[in-house]
Amino acid sequence: MSTLPLNRNNRLGIAVSPIVLGTMGLGGEWDREPAAAEQIKQGHEAVEAALSIGVNMIDSADIYTRGKAESILGTVLRERPELRERLILQSKCGIRLMEPGDLSNTFDLSRSHILSSVDGILSRLGTEYLDILLLHRPDPLMDPEEVGEALRELKASGRVRHFGVSNMSAAQIGLLRTGTDEPFIVNQLHLSLGKLDWLDAVVSVNRPAWTEHGMPEGTIEYCRANGIQLQAWGPLAQGRFSGRSLEGEPPHVADTAAMVARLAEEKGTTREAIVLAWLMTHPAGIQAVIGTVSPRRIEACRGAEEIVLTRREWYDLYVSSRGQRLP
């Protein structure tokens, strides 16, 4: 069988690993209690496990466990200062978490919020600069000129070196680009073997089912055409195909998990690596931002970018997880 041409080159213009350590799991509960010693130990272990499989990039956000995730990572960097120049640090801002009396979380890409958020991120991480800042969610009230002003100030002051977005469509990125000359080099989206609307939007064009997809038309294509690195959050599909209990799941999920297990055995690797390899086989050169902080599961991702799936294997996994044949 023929194999897909694998694009392993990132589009960031800086040397980064194909797997990124996500830190949303650091810090325990999303409360205002300070990080405990056990949680700091967990941070050290997660970073060490990531380094052991060649990861050189860490992703966070100002809201993760209400700042504790960044504070823990900052403690790790303070106790191992030699790591800062070895690591690409990426964080996100733009969400205000719900407080007592609020109806909901809200999104805020105002100049003042972006600037104050970055100051908080740098303080918690204990670093003078971020390699990459992502705008976390599209804000219906965002003004491209105001956002652009904030980005220019952050770049000029040396606080942020590169910028990107998260959870944004092609049209939203295009709107933001009207307010700044700074390129957006990343778009972080929910992509995985268990979250398929980014592919279904492609194969369902010109069919009624297309209108049911959550991924706006052309988003993946826009990023590829404009040199924007696609990053996948949730790429392990919350363990659905790599050992999590499947009680209550539909039959096609169990069938896909069995297929992943079979491929892992045939290729002498882990189920986690197969799930990531499926994502990385896509020619967009997708980076996988793994959300686990378990050293065992981090280490199970080792070598995913080196696994070769045939076109038939890739499509069999896609169609199985999709639960229905392609048109």
Angle, CA 136 vertex, CA 107 and CA 32 arms, to 5°? 70
DSSP codes of every residue in 121-139: HHHHHT-S-EEEEEE-S--
Tens digits of residue pLDDT in 255-305: 999 999 999 999 999 999 999 999 999 999 999 999 999 999 999 999 999
| pLDDT of amino acid 15 | 84
Mean of the pLDDT values across residues 87-113? 96
Integer Cα distance of 202 and 222 in angstroms: 13
Query: For the chain, which residues make up each domain, given as ranges?
Result: 19-246+283-307
pLDDT at 8 over 60: no
pLDDT at 13 over 90: no
In this structure, the strands spanning 95-96 and 106-107 are: antiparallel
Tens digits of residue pLDDT in 198-257: 999 888 877 665 556 567 789 999 999 999 999 999 999 999 999 999 999 999 999 999
pLDDT at 174 over 70: yes
| pLDDT of amino acid 4 | 33
Tens digits of residue pLDDT in 136-170: 999 999 999 999 999 999 999 999 999 999 999 99
pLDDT tier at 327, thresholds 50, 70, 90:
confident
Integer Cα distance of 280 and 76 in angstroms: 29
pLDDT tier at 71, thresholds 50, 70, 90:
very high
Integer Cα distance of 172 and 318 in angstroms: 28
Superfamily of domain covering 19-246+283-307: NADP-dependent oxidoreductase domain (3.20.20.100)
Hey, what amino acid is at 137?
A: R
